[in-house]
Amino acid sequence: MKEPAELNKHHRAEALKERVYVTFTALAVVLALQSHSEESLTAGQAAVTLAITVIGTLMAVFVADLISHLAVHEKTPTRPELLRMAQVSFGAFAAAVLPLIFIALAGLGWWEITTALQAATAALVLTLVLIGYLAIRRIHMAWWKRLIALVAEFVLGLAVIGLELIAHG
């Protein structure tokens, strides 16, 4: 049985991992939407597409967590375990909040949808860096190793942007 401090560390790691998944998924969707934003894409369509994709991803993560729990423990999760799974899975929705706010601003006429999606892209890449920082801030390692980890995550975010641009270019 894991100690409470170890369980808390494990819970934080799971939450960060799920936020990374959702952030990369949201980034890919926002970039795909951006490639269509100059056509007839409305803010409502963009918001619905992003929300459905993120919620679908979170549901898949929750179901995968539940299935893996059943496979490993050969029993259904207890109520606290199920609540933890739900918190970890659905708590990752926070990664999509800022992009949805930017899209809502476009829907209110404050921005063009293209500008909102560009801001959402920047926010998602910065979210990846923030998640990386939160993951490594308590780790005892040299500052330059931390910097390498953050730069690597930033570069991977840029690589996703590059791949989407190639796919839709």
What distance in Å separates the CA atoms of residue 28 and residue 46, rounded to the nearest whole number? 13
**Of 104, 87, 98, 88, which is closest to residue 42 (Cα–Cα)?**
104
Please report, for residues 10, 103, 151, the alpha-carbon distance to residue 3 in angstroms, rounded to integers and kept in the order given.
10, 43, 33
> Which of 18-27, 56-65, 77-86, 146-155 shows the lowest mean pLDDT across its residues?
146-155
- pLDDT of residue 131 exceeding 70, the answer is yes
- pLDDT of residue 123 exceeding 80, the answer is yes
Token pair, residue 143, equals: 């500052």
Report the largest interatomic distance among the alpha carbons of the chain, rounded to a whole angstrom. 56
Comparing 159 with 110, the larger pLDDT belongs to 110
Mean pLDDT of the chain: 87
Query: How confident is the model at residue 111, as a pLDDT?
Result: 93
Name the band, by pLDDT with cuts 50, 70 and 90, for residue 143.
confident
Query: How confident is the model at residue 90, as a pLDDT?
Result: 86
Name the band, by pLDDT with cuts 50, 70 and 90, for residue 6.
low
Could you give the number of structural domains in the chain? Answer: 1
Q: 81-110 burial, b for 16+ CB within 10 Å, e for fewer?
A: eeebbeebbbebbebbebbbebbbbbbeee
Name the band, by pLDDT with cuts 50, 70 and 90, for residue 136.
confident
pTM (2 decimals)? 0.83
Share of the chain above pLDDT 90, in %: 43
Amino acid at 90: F
Cβ atoms of 111 and 119 within 8 Å: the answer is yes
Query: How confident is the model at residue 139, as a pLDDT?
Result: 79
Q: What is the pLDDT of residues 47-82, one digit of tens each?
A: 999 999 999 999 999 999 899 989 998 999 999 989
For residue 115, the tally of other CB atoms under 10 A from its CB is 14
Domain span at residue 29 reads 4-168
Comparing 14 with 52, the larger pLDDT belongs to 52
